[in-house]
Amino acid sequence: MGNGDKKAEIQMPHCFGAKELWDQVRQVTYEDVVRYFYQPTDPSSLGIIRFFFGLLMLMDLLEERGGADIDLRWGNPKDCHFPLFPVLVNPGFPWISIMYFFMWLGALGIMLGLKFRLSLFLFGISYWYILLLDKSFWNNHSYLFGVLVILLAGSSANHFGSLDGYFDPSKKNKHVPYWNYFILKYQFFMLYFLAGLKKTDMEWLQGYSMSNLGHHWVFLPFRYLLSSDQIDYLIVHWFGFLLDLTIGFWLLIEFTRPVAMFFCAAFHLMNSRLFSIGMFPYVCLATMPLFCEETWPRKLQTLLSIEYSPPTPSQSCIYRKEQIEAYIKVEKSHKSDCIRDKVTWKHKMVVALLMCHCGLQVFLPYSHFITKGYNNWTKGLYGYSWDMMVHSWNTVLVVVKVVDNDTGREHFVDSEAWTLNERWSKHADMCLQYAQCLRRNLIGNLKEQTNSELTTNQITSENISIFLDVWCSLNKRFQQRMYNPQYDLLNANWSPFQPVEWLLPVLSEYNDFRKTMDDISEEVYSWSNFSDVLFIADFPGLYLENFINDDLRNVTLTVLEGAVAYEVEEESELQSTGVKLRKGDSVPIEVGLFHKIHTISETPSIYMYTFTRIESSEEEDVSEGRQNVMYSPFPLFEDFQQRVDSFLKMWGHIGNSVLYLLFGRPFNIRSKIKG
């Protein structure tokens, strides 16, 4: 037989093997899938992950959940909150404090594995209620923590290293079904992979999402080879994109897992210093062992010469007949009826629910074509979308105007008066909720006062209109309006399934202008250490009303595109003087006066302010303080005293609430202090 025949003989079995493999796949039944998910696995890794998740949730309760500031976040009944569902309302400071108590009790129980199901219920119900009560505090990882609680609720994570196992031997060191590991591993795989898919956005790949990170000390080793701008582009954007997109696959492969875990751990530790994202990096670090073999703690015990007992059969798993026979042979005390070998309808239902969850996690990040009412310049709410850090915002102005329709007077309200953060202003649905909240507060103030107490600075009737003008920049673009400032939000036509009709489009046709903006900025910054520039774009027929503070000098307006009319209001003469400016024209701006800039061209106008800030020693002290924080160790060590103080404050709030509910003892609510 020639070489050609031998080659043919080698290839044929490969072809037949592929066909046989396909035939075997086709013969797999749903019951086989159920048996696969319910096969027995070692509980040790899951128990360790459960312990650290509970511990980190105790810390998260003090940080992002705001345990130390319950009174500031939930104590003022006039503060505006933004629930996902209208039926969710703030029950008040005392009852919210009780929810925090249940969350703390639940997180402690999760960590210790004590009354595991009850602990998950107490933590999960309170956590999800508080999370859904205010969308303005949503983060991707906040959603992740809530999902992990739901997934753990169906698991047997208390079969190792738990007090439940200590008090109940039937739960001590017992096998857990493989799906307990699979679903958690799937959740974190999709966390990385979907974050990578979201970073295929050209805004990220072109380096416009993140800026000025290359100066941070965590990138110090890279600065020997790269400039700060190159670090931002190559390390932050491109390496971050490739790591998110592929790290899940590298973690699944045993050969590449050690290197992948090193890069993944370094990535999360760097993020913990770069961003204020609470316990998210540490939760990811604590769950990285999900991608290892379930028996890694046993191997570690063997390596350290520590004796251990192998796990014993559990009724929560499905065993093969040969496994049952082996257990009965080794341990005579085992009876065959104590070990399951048959698939029941409950097993099938659980696997079906797991598959639904897997599909839902793929669908939700791309479901924004349905929930159009939550879309703005970006798709959907920041939470389940996994578009982490893809969009950066810079807001310079939020104007809230209230018009008394009976008198025609205009009143301006501080946008921070009854709000806890500024994220609401980027989402049309929350702007609508804010307008309704503002109306309730204003009407409530009106009813509390008599006609003799009213002044010209207050509304005189319930017949009012509310207008919102938000100026912000998305990913280094111009500052521009986000909403139509002439749209009355109290009469808004909004639906979760329809596009927002008062939303103005982002001026993406000027995206290429960002390179010109960088060049101009570099030139302006070279003038002095205190020179700065602000780029603005506006729509035809609209105007910007602005006031220049006295702490600025050499303020100049320059038109880059289109045409504007610059108008100054002379307070002494109560009249306006104006001048028309076209592309390339400049005019000095008077400080301490209001002025208007009307866009009179048929296309959007683009202009810039250049100015010099007055040197301030306070700014230098602040920058030095930030630099010191930047070079400090990891927060788990540096913030120990702060965490202790936060813990004591939280329990002070809880104690005051209990005394109020039981004995009517009054409590004090701190007031917000604007920074």
- Annotated catalytic residues are 199
Q: Both tokens of residue 585?
A: 């024209």
How far apart, in whole angstroms, are the C-alpha atoms of residue 639 and residue 162? 29
Q: Both tokens of residue 671?
A: 């007031």
Collect all residues with Cβ–Cβ distance below 8 Å to 194 and sequence separation of at least 6. 365, 386
3 state SS of 578: strand
Tracing tokens 């795989």 back to the chain, one arrives at: 189
Identify which of 543, 578, 544, 581 has the alpha carbon closest to the alpha carbon of residue 562: 581
How far apart, in whole angstroms, are the C-alpha atoms of residue 76 and residue 436? 17
**Residues listed for the chain:** 675
3-state secondary structure 49-97: HHHHHHHHHHHHHHCCCCHHHHHHHHCCCCCCCCCCCCCCCCCCHHHHH
Identify which of 74, 89, 75 has the alpha carbon closest to the alpha carbon of residue 666: 75
Tracing tokens 């009965």 back to the chain, one arrives at: 328
Residue pair 2/282 in contact by the 8 Å Cβ criterion: no
Angle, CA of 371, 377 and 380, to the nearest 5°? 30
Identify the helix (H) or strand (E) that includes residue 610: strand 605-613
Q: Which residues of 310-347 are buried (b: 16+ CB within 10 A; e: fewer)?
A: ebbbbebbbbeeebbeebbeeeeebeeeebbeebeeeb
Q: Which residues of 591-608 are buried (b: 16+ CB within 10 A; e: fewer)?
A: eeeebbbbbbbeebbbbb
Taking CA atoms, 447 is separated from 442, 454, 460, 462, 465, in Å, by 9, 11, 10, 10, 18
Tracing tokens 């990220």 back to the chain, one arrives at: 204
Identify which of 444, 376, 382 has the alpha carbon closest to the alpha carbon of residue 79: 444
Sheet holding 552-561, edge to edge: 531-538, 605-613, 552-561, 586-588
How far apart, in whole angstroms, are the C-alpha atoms of residue 358 and residue 194? 13
Q: Both tokens of residue 482?
A: 């986000």
